[in-house]
Structure 1
């Protein structure tokens, strides 16, 4: 299964070039398992779907060190029918997509509870798009139910849901939303914005 993310970082600091380029070293532990391409707009990650959110977490936490206000925006996708098969693209492992929605919600909650605490608070908003699924609204509502019970739920907004808390549990919750909902063979996209150290946080 083809899975990946286009990621852009926006540090609100005069030395943003150093911050962006320096934070890319946080992706070094993933380079043997990912195809990683950086250009003037974004960084592409293609690889195992279960490792996408840990990689994005580490990148964002690295860029947010020293109380820097930094925003990460990502478009995340799995199962895109327009992409070629690639040896680095792998199916989702250890996930029972054929299970009832309630069972998947419980499994997602259990998996997210084991997330490490990284002592970096973040706020995130996400929109989930299960494409080509006959019961896509059931999957979306199931995901929202999971997010509300996750322990990092912020609030529902027009077109998205917000999360707040430590980066470890927040990114783990985002990863479970990406992995557990939508058709296992279908195309799923997720639009994501994560902010750390905002001077206007509420």
Structure 2
């Protein structure tokens, strides 16, 4: 994992690096169409796309809403797609997004309703510089149980299943809890839709 940090940044900036992997011959168009649809909006976050992913930085709720919308926009009924997300907060290298912390929480609106798709997810949560981090991770996993996402332990990760609406509502809750209790943390997430493995 490569996270650029220096000593001058804001610990309040939430960041997410998003990569989209459609299992389709039209993968390039699916990815660029989703990102470009978002780019046409005046988004209340810092953003940058490179050859690997698109990074969003700013106020937590706005970042989560935008990443969710990107996943929904890239969804195709018959296409197995995997989304890789890295959420981070407390990294002192997020200076280029500080001014976006003043933005209001802004729902992402399109001329159509985005689909509330069924998803499978695995995620791992990492707390840095915390001696008693396991109690916080336990609390974060319990929030998923309360959300009805059926958390199941697996080696090095926790599996979740449910709707994309419930999943990203949970991400907001989990990140809010972490912000209150942990100075610097990273959450690595893999989301799968339309996987043939579920059949």
Counterpart pick for 2:16 among 5, 30, 46: 5
SS of alignment partner, residue 37 of structure 1 = strand
* Larger displacement relative to structure 2 (70-79 or 150-159): 150-159
Partner of 2:51: 40
Counterpart pick for 2:195 among 180, 185, 198: 198
CA distance 1:72–1:139, change in 2 (3 Å): same
Cα distance between partner residues in 1 of 2:186 and 2:80: 26
Cα deviation, residue 60, structure 1:
0.9
Gaps of 5+ in 1: 94-115
Matches within 5 A, 1:122-133: 122-133=119-130
Cα deviation, residue 128, structure 1:
1.0
Partner of 1:59: 70
Cα deviation, residue 196, structure 1:
0.8
What is the TM-score of this pair, normalised by structure 2?
Answer: 0.80
Gaps of 5+ in 2: 1-11, 105-112
Residues 77, 194 of structure 2: 8 Å contact kept: no
Matches within 5 A, 1:1-202: 1-28=12-39, 31-84=42-95, 86-90=97-101, 118-181=115-178, 183-184=180-181, 186-201=183-198
Q: How many residues align?
A: 180
Give a deviation string over 1:126-150, Cα, whole Å, max 9, x none: 1111212242111111112222222
Cα deviation, residue 55, structure 1:
1.3
CA distance 1:31–1:45, change in 2 (3 Å): farther
Residues 117, 167 of structure 1: 8 Å contact kept: no
RMSD between superposed Cα atoms in Å: 2.5
